[in-house]
Amino acid sequence: SHAGIMDHASSMKTPWVFFLSEVAVLTEPEYKVITCYGDSITSQDWPDYLQKLMWENNKKVSVVRKAVSGTRILRQYSCVQYEAYGLKGDYRFGHEMHVAGSDTLIILQGINDIIHPVGVEKNEFRPWQDLPSSQELIEGLRKYVKHAKSLGMKVYIGTLIPIEGWRTYAYFRENLRNEVNEWIRTTDEIDGVIDFDKDICDGHKMQDAFDSGDHLHPSDEGYAQMAKTAYNKMSME
């Protein structure tokens, strides 16, 4: 009888803004869900292109994005006061893996751990001690894999894409990226590798057509290529 009118308890002023984070739809068992977990690269277009490829090829698969810009596997910014930019994996991963119907996970994360630390003299929230070793990053990925496997999920990891030309690029960061990618390509702890790096790389750099211009985030064509890389791998399974 009071449609459209909110009572006092529901309309109090609050410093928080609430967003719908999940919609679960009961479907037939043959419908599957792939969860894509990552940072700003995954918050952009390649999961959308992957979904489009699934539809175009009559696959009964939904692609769900779980991606937050600026996030790292191992570190969190002390300035963060909300559940978004800058949260580390320990605070994100367990919460974001509970997607109804998802039995497959694609992880693409770790590049922010490598490129963000610059020293407090440049950014007080990005000290050098935040820079991980490749082994620390690998252990962080292994922790993700173990958690996802405990939920019964198949786990794929995407290789970290090129960063040459990015504003904090340095040779030691490139070494870190390559060492992590080597582990991703050779480990037997996951169900498969999606080699984004190989398919959008030109030598050590992103191919020009696939580069948005900042030398870190792909262009629209780059994201479309990443989706093809993921789709081709998924189709082989």
At 77, the pLDDT band (50, 70, 90 cuts) reads: confident
Tens-place pLDDT, residues 52-67: 999 999 999 999 999 9
Which one, of 139, 140, 141, 113, lies nearest residue 128 by Cα? 113
Buried b (16+ CB within 10 A) or exposed e, 116-151: bbbeeeeeeebbeebbbebeebbebbeebbebbeee
Q: What is the pLDDT of residues 152-181, one digit of tens each?
A: 999 999 999 999 999 999 999 999 999 999
> pLDDT per residue over 197-232, tens digit each?
999 998 889 999 999 999 999 999 999 999 999 999
Higher pLDDT, 57 or 19: 57
Taking residue 56's Cβ as centre, other Cβ atoms within 10 Å add up to 9
Phi, psi of 56 (to 5 degrees): -65, -25
Determine the CATH number of domain 27-236. Answer: 3.40.50.1110
Domain ranges of the chain: 27-236
